[in-house]
């Protein structure tokens, strides 16, 4: 780079100069600062993909042909240092297409396939798919290899999370659009317009048009001047773009910048050396962070820098995937950073592989994606060691992380749970390190890892390369290369298969003499068993010289158990499971070797080799799925012309797919806006002794103040709460959980506010906390009416029939069993973290924009806190990036907290929670415990009586816990008629953050307890659980255990349709499972079917009301305002359909405005699945009022008069064209003091059956197939309803299988975590499902010909009920475990066993038992409840 050229980055073709002093700034922060807000902040640690962008760079230039080669990488902008992308061209979602000018084919594919619900994750998915398309074809690629496969798409999206859709529509949209279609030509990427186009096209604005119809460079000129040449364009626009997304315009993609090409041609390389000095941090530390940044372009420059700044004086940064996390979450300080990448230093970019003898050299700066590609090539994949590296990398993080992470960075980090380091140990790799003064030094991989994250590197050294020796480079007596054979395999088990850190990893190598069958070398490297990666030297020594016999297997298992011992108190926990995994991996490798040895060892020596049984073959491979998720969706489509009942796309799908949809933190901030950070408690229970904020306020420039309870206006209050007012906005004397708000710091920038909040010093007197249900029961720590100063809210119970008489019956045919069901909590993991802005304007009026499901509560909290009347406070919510109940009551306390500094400073204040803070402080789905006793008749196979005590972990305030418990009590019957039932509930008061509403609101936990009873009874009766369930299903007209008569009960209709569905009959699927299990010893399949019955209404009667404001304008268009909030569920879309039908206008002519308390006051939360019922009905009421006013005018006008003409005529006759509609839910009659009545307006029903496959050696679960039949009445929008079914089920599956909360509890739980601290507070440790976790085959049917006269348009609520059906997976897993346990002959007739939820791989593996497990299969794993 010449001295006249300033460092720059290109974004969407636009040049931005990079100033000094922003070394701490990420690419995401930079993009959002320049108002490119389509790139989202989801987690800040590269774990969700919401921030995905494409970074393009030149990788080479051929002077002879004047051609460039490029790399296009999907990267996580949240971790990417802005300086690392100097000289790159970054493409964001805004660089593709937009709703006004036309969507890009990728954007259109996801929008049209209903793959965008809340939309917050959508831009990330689009950019990941776009990166795949860019890389799919180049000039030198044969045409037949330019195609992409469904697996390519799934793999490209592996680093992207979605919480709404269940992934199927996203994958389907992309597969249908791009599989087996030729994609972008390299001419387009290069900007070689002469080759790309047959006609003249304008490219003066630096973009290349792409046809939205074909995904190809535009060749008909339609993109040149905007003229349409396709006769069918208008009809396509009606079909695909009905919601506003244009589909027939040519999309323009940014050209690769000419300046960057000029650089590459200049001979200095595509990226020049850089040196930033940190800016003037002394005089302006607000805008200059002082971080010094170097980018060397040769090995000499790098070694000179490392020599000048050795050890901690500098930090080498490659992909920043580890260091970025350290800086953000561990507060690490690295004032001088040296950026190294393979495409700047040739010596570190080397890849050399010998496919004949296995030798290889890998440069330390190659990316993990480069290593993966090299090892997965056609020739490399034939070599076991290379194939193993490739396979291990497939499951390493997501594609975005692998694209920037380097081999050297991965090794030098020294992670004890590294995926790759065990492989290097097993291969006896050599690490070449080098320095300026010492030159090259060779270190064995087995000697490199010294201690926890400490490696054998001197202060001035760097890792240069990794060298692998040949298969047989050692002189084994009596052998030659021709008489030896190497076996190598990789193993990894994590909580989730895809994009997850390991629990245990393993690299395994063995070398055999093929003449004698003798083991010449046996090497096992493990991660996850110690404070560093370990090599099992004793096991290796003991195996050498042995033959692979049964006795050798016994020795191997014994040796591994001794050498891989993990102490119970070890960080990470799961000691029994980790030891078991080590043994299981060793066993799998033993079988891997012997499965082939018999065919290669001389016949005279093969007879003694362990004889692999046919039913053991299944243990050899990973539990990998065979196909990308697919399935069928069945529903009844209404005739064209009827807007209600049509599967229209989400109203905002097109702007969500283009990144134009505005969320709370995307909105332009008011002038003078400052930033807040919360000061939080760091202990679970204690007395506040002192708070020292002076050092934070005075020593950090740009800090405007610290605010706490003492700053609340004298007319205001520090007490809030959604039901009981039992929470402090700011803790005053005591803290009762980790994460409780003590104060708030405000500064000019968010970074300074966060830094200042960390600097506030608080001293405590630590008090003993209560952290679990068990502890609360022991100490009788329950919420009571007296405690909250209210009557009738707590201590609820229901009793039907005569339970005690049944249990007192001594008849022989009556059997009584008891049990306890433990159900863990669940994090909401909405992709959009909580955010809010508060501005106090003139006349002390307050405007707040918040990501909340309940604007009314925010309005009330702020007004009460500041001592204002509520008519002066307006709360707005345009859309949410997911909510699921988590933004109903737990988003309010932070909004009101920043209202205090906004009041005092008279400046707008913004707060955006980091993901880890959000997950620590905002609560979760309640954990439950159900202790039950059941009596059943062994002859009739009928349950006679059930007695249940239910406990939930409410946390440190009541919040909505009493209502959550009430719904669990009302749903403990699931869908079964149990004549005698008694249930009572207790809300446990603990020192965890207050738990709150979550999809299902206690219903799933209550139902899980009831379903567990049914399943255990079936096992004791030795009958099929689905048969017992069917035998107990409610009939039409039955009474529930609280006396509500079931009207239009469709549960048996759903069950029968599911049971007899083609290719899904219970009997056939059960038979297929049994057949598979007879031939497979270490993989077992399970099958289960479960029903769903979910009551629709708020159990608090007063909440069942709703308002809508409908305004008709003189152009015939309609504006609707409702109290409900759009958060992805399609509420606004359904309301628009209802308005369009009732007014007789086009769907496109109805616009639903953002939710605001100034338009519709006193609105109930958008919750309980009832919003479409309530606001749809209120909207219909308003529309009918208007139509009634227009009726006389319509009768006087011509029959073909348009709505616009009628409206204008009415206007001139001074007729009101605005109406306020109102809804009150009828048919509700409930009083807890009586315990009988109708708490619900109606029920939504459903049924599901699932089939799973369990790896009994690892506990890994693969969901093979799920079929769902859902009763949604007469669907207003089948596409949206199916989306809710799929997404709700996927979320329920996550709760069942993967999503485990781990809080520190030194008495009853995870002792390796500090008391009250949530260890699982980000995507790195908390795992929601990926596309690889949902069912491979996923079929959904909306029950045909189902009507519901109790709701608007005869529809039914659908948001929460499908979540319940995730439990079909739980019982299918349990079914598979039963089969596994029966491999032990002594347990053939075993009864029921307990399996805590979630049934993680740890719990599944331990429950399976078998000879290769460590410890008892009845061991109770640690669980936070």
Residues annotated as catalytic are: 1360
In DSSP notation, 853-885 reads S-HHHHHHHHHHHHT--GGGEEEEES--S--TT
CA–CA dist 1393, 1410 (Å, integer): 15
Q: Where are the beta strands (DSSP E) in 229-309?
A: 250-254, 274-276, 292-295
CA–CA dist 122, 110 (Å, integer): 8
- The dihedral sign for the CA sequence 1082, 1083, 1088, 1092: positive
CA–CA dist 1033, 1049 (Å, integer): 10
Residue for token pair 């050899």: 620
DSSP code, position 398? -
Q: C-alpha angle 810/933/1415, rounded to 5°?
A: 115
Q: C-alpha angle 917/923/924, rounded to 5°?
A: 120
Compute how many other C-beta atoms are within 10 angstroms of the C-beta atom of residue 477.
Answer: 6
C-alpha 316: how far from its chain's center?
31
Sheet holding 1242-1255, edge to edge: 633-634, 1337-1342, 1261-1270, 1242-1255, 1083-1096
In DSSP notation, 1066-1126 reads HHHHHHHHHHHHHT-SSEEEEEEEEEEEEEES-SSGGG-EEEEEEEE-TTS-EEEEESS--
Return all residues near 1136 (Cβ < 8 A) that are at least 6 apart.
Answer: 651, 1120, 1147, 1150, 1151, 1152
Burial of 996 (0-12, 13-18, 19+ CB in 10 A): buried
Residue for token pair 């499902």: 1329
1198-1222: buried (b, 16+ CB within 10 Å) or exposed (e) per residue? eeeeebbebbbbbeeeeeebebebe
215: left (phi over 0), alpha (psi -120 to 50) or beta: left
1342 token code pair: 């909306």
In DSSP notation, 651-705 reads TTHHHHHTT----GGGSPPPTT-EEEEEEE--SSSEEEEEEE-HHHHHHSTTEEE
Return all residues near 322 (Cβ < 8 A) that are at least 6 apart.
Answer: 409, 413
CA dihedral 251, 255, 256, 259 (to 10 degrees): -150
Compute how many other C-beta atoms are within 10 angstroms of the C-beta atom of residue 587.
Answer: 21
CA–CA dist 667, 669 (Å, integer): 6
At what angle are helices 168-178 and 1278-1297 packed, to 10 degrees? 120
Residue for token pair 């007695």: 947
Phi, psi of 894 (to 5 degrees): -80, -30
The separation between the first and the last C-alpha atoms of the chain, rounded to the nearest angstrom, is 59
Cα 804 to Cα 143, 982, 1057, 1233, 1249, distances in angstroms: 76, 9, 38, 21, 35
Return all residues near 164 (Cβ < 8 A) that are at least 6 apart.
Answer: 117, 118, 121, 882, 1128, 1283, 1287
Phi, psi of 889 (to 5 degrees): -120, -20
648 token code pair: 């229209």
764: β partners: 688
């Amino acid at each position: 780079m010449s001295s006249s050229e300033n460092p720059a980055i290109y974004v969407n073709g636009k040049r931005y100069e990079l100033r000094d002093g922003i070394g701490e700034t990420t690419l995401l922060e930079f993009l959002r600062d320049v108002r490119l807000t389509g790139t989202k902040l989801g987690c800040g640690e590269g774990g969700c993909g919401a921030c995905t962008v494409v970074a393009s760079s030149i990788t080479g230039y051929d002077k002879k042909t004047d051609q460039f080669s490029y790399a296009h990488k999907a990267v996580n902008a949240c971790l990417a240092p802005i300086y690392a992308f100097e000289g790159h061209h970054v493409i964001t979602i805004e660089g593709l297409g937009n709703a006004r000018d036309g969507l890009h084919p990728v954007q259109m594919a996801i929008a049209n396939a209903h793959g965008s619900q809340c939309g917050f994750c959508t831009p990330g998915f689009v950019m990941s798919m776009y990166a795949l398309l860019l890389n799919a074809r180049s000039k030198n690629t044969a045409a037949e290899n330019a195609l992409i496969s469904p697996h390519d798409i799934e793999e490209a999206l592996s680093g992207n999370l979605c919480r709404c859709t269940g992934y199927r529509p996203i994958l389907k949209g992309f597969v249908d659009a791009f599989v087996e279609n030729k994609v972008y030509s390299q001419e387009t990427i290069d900007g070689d317009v002469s080759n790309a186009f047959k006609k003249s096209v304008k490219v003066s604005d630096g973009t290349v048009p792409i046809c939205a119809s074909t995904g190809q460079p535009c060749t008909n000129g339609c993109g040149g001047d905007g003229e349409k040449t396709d006769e069918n364009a208008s009809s396509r626009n009606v079909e695909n773009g009905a919601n506003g997304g244009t589909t027939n315009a040519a999309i323009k993609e940014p050209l690769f910048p000419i300046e960057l090409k000029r650089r590459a041609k200049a001979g200095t390389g595509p990226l020049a050396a850089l040196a930033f000095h940190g800016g003037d941090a002394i005089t302006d530390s607000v805008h200059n962070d002082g971080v010094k940044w170097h980018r060397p372009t040769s090995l000499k420059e790098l070694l000179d820098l490392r020599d000048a700044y050795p050890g901690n004086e500098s930090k080498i940064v490659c992909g920043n995937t580890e260091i970025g996390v350290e800086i953000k979450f561990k507060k690490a300080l690295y004032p001088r950073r040296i950026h190294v990448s393979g495409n700047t230093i040739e010596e570190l970019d080397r890849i050399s592989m010998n496919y004949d003898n296995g030798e290889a050299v890998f440069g330390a700066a190659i990316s993990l994606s480069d290593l993966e590609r090299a090892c997965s090539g056609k020739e490399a994949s034939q070599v076991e060691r290379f194939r193993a590296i490739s396979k291990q990398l497939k499951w390493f993080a997501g594609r975005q992380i692998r694209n920037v992470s380097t081999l050297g960075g991965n090794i030098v980090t020294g992670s004890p749970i590294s995926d790759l380091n065990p492989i290097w140990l097993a291969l006896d790799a050599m690490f070449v390190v080098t320095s300026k003064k010492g030159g090259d030094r060779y270190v064995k991989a087995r000697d490199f890892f010294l201690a926890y994250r400490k490696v054998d590197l001197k202060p001035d050294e760097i890792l240069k390369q990794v060298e692998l020796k040949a298969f047989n480079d050692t002189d084994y007596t009596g052998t030659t290369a021709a008489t030896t054979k190497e076996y190598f395999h990789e193993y990894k088990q994590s909580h989730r298969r895809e994009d997850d850190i390991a629990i245990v990893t393993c690299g395994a190598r063995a070398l055999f003499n093929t003449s004698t069958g003798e083991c010449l070398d046996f090497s096992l490297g493990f991660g996850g068993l110690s404070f560093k990666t370990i090599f099992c030297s004793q096991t290796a020594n003991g195996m050498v010289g042995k033959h692979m016999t049964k006795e050798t297997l016994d020795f191997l298992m014994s040796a591994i158990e001794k050498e891989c011992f993990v102490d119970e108190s070890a960080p990470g926990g799961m000691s029994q499971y980790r030891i078991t995994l080590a043994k299981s991996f060793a066993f799998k490798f033993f079988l891997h070797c012997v499965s082939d040895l018999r065919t290669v060892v001389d016949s005279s020596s093969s007879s003694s080799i362990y004889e692999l049984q046919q039913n053991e073959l299944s243990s050899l491979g990973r539990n990998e799925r065979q196909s990308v998720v697919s399935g069928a969706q069945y529903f009844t489509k209404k005739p064209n012309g009827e807007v209600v009942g049509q599967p229209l796309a989400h109203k905002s799908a097109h702007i969500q797919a283009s990144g134009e949809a505005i969320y709370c933190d995307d909105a332009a901030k008011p002038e003078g806006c400052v930033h807040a950070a919360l000061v939080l408690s760091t202990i679970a229970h204690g007395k506040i002794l002192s708070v020292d904020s002076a050092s934070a306020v005075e020593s950090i420039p740009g800090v405007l103040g610290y605010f706490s309870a003492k700053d609340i206006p004298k007319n205001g209050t520090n007490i809030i709460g959604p039901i009981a007012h039992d929470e402090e906005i700011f803790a005053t004397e005591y803290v009762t959980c980790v994460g409780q708000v003590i104060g708030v710091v405000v500064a000019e920038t968010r970074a300074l506010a966060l830094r200042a909040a960390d600097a506030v010093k608080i001293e405590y007197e630590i008090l003993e906390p209560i952290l679990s249900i068990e502890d609360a029961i022991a100490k009788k720590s329950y919420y009571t009416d007296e405690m909250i100063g209210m009557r009738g809210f707590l201590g609820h119970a229901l009793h039907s029939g005569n339970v005690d008489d049944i249990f007192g019956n001594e008849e022989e045919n009556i059997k009584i069993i008891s049990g306890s069901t433990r159900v863990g909590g669940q994090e909401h993991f909405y992709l959009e973290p909580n955010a809010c802005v508060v501005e106090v304007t003139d006349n002390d009026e307050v405007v707040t924009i918040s990501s909340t499901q309940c604007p009314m509560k925010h309005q009330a909290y702020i007004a009460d806190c500041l001592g204002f009347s509520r008519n002066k406070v307006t709360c707005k919510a345009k859309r949410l990036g997911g909510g699921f109940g988590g933004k109903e009551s737990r988003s309010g306390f932070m909004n009101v907290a920043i209202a205090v500094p906004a009041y005092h400073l008279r400046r707008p204040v913004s707060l955006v929670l980091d993901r880890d803070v959000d997950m620590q402080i905002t609560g979760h789905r309640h954990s439950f415990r159900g202790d039950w006793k059941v009596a059943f008749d062994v002859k009739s196979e009928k349950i006679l009586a059930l007695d249940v005590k239910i406990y939930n972990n409410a946390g440190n305030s009541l919040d909505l816990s009493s209502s959550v418990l009430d719904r669990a009590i009302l749903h403990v019957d699931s869908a079964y008629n149990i004549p005698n039932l008694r249930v009572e509930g207790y809300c446990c008061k603990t020192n965890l953050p207050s738990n709150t509403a979550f999809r299902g609101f206690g219903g799933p936990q209550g139902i899980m307890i009831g379903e567990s009873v049914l399943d255990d009874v079936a096992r004791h009766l030795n009958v099929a659980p689905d048969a017992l369930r069917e035998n107990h299903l409610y009939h039409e007209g039955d009474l529930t255990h609280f006396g509500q008569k079931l009207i239009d009960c469709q549960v048996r209709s759903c069950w029968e349709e599911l049971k007899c569905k083609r290719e899904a009959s219970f009997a056939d699927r059960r038979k297929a499972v049994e057949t598979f299990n007879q031939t497979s010893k270490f993989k077992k399949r399970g099958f289960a079917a479960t029903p769903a019955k979910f009551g629709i209404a708020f159990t608090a009667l007063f909440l069942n009301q709703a308002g809508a404001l409908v305004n008709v304008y003189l152009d015939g268009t309609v504006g609707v305002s409702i109290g409900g909030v759009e958060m992805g569920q399609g509420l606004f879309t359904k309301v628009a359909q209802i308005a369009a039908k009732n007014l007789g206008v086009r769907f496109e002519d109805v616009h639903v405005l953002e939710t605001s308390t100034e338009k519709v006051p006193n609105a109930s939360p958008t919750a309980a699945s009832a919003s479409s019922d309530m606001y749809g009905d209120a909207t219909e009421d308003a529309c009918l009022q208007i139509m009634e006013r227009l009726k006389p005018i319509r009768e006087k006008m011509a029959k073909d008069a348009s709505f616009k003409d009628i409206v204008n005529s009415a206007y001139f006759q001074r007729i009101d064209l605005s109406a306020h509609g109102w809804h009150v839910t009828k048919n509700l009659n409930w009083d807890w003091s009586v315990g009988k009545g109708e708490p619900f307006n109606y029920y939504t029903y459903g049924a599901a059956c699932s089939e799973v496959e369990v790896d009994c050696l690892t506990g890994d679960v693969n969901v093979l197939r799920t079929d769902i039949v859902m009763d949604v009445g007469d669907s207003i929008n089948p596409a949206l309803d199916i989306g809710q079914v799929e997404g709700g089920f996927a979320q329920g599956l996550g709760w069942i299988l993967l999503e485990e909360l781990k809080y520190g509890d030194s008495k009853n739980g995870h002792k390796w975590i500090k008391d009250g601290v949530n260890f699982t507070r980000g995507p790195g440790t908390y795992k929601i499902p990926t596309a690889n976790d949902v069912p491979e085959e996923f079929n959904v049917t909306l029950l045909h010909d189902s009507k519901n006269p109790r709701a608007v348009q005869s529809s039914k609520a659908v948001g929460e009920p499908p979540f319940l059906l995730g439990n079909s997976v739980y019982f299918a897993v349990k079914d598979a475990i039963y089969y596994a346990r029966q491999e032990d002959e002594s347990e053939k007739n075993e009864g029921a066993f307990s399996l805590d939820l979630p049934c993680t791989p740890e719990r599944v593996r331990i429950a399976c038992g078998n000879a290769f497990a460590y410890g008892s299969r009845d061991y109770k794993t640690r669980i936070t409840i």
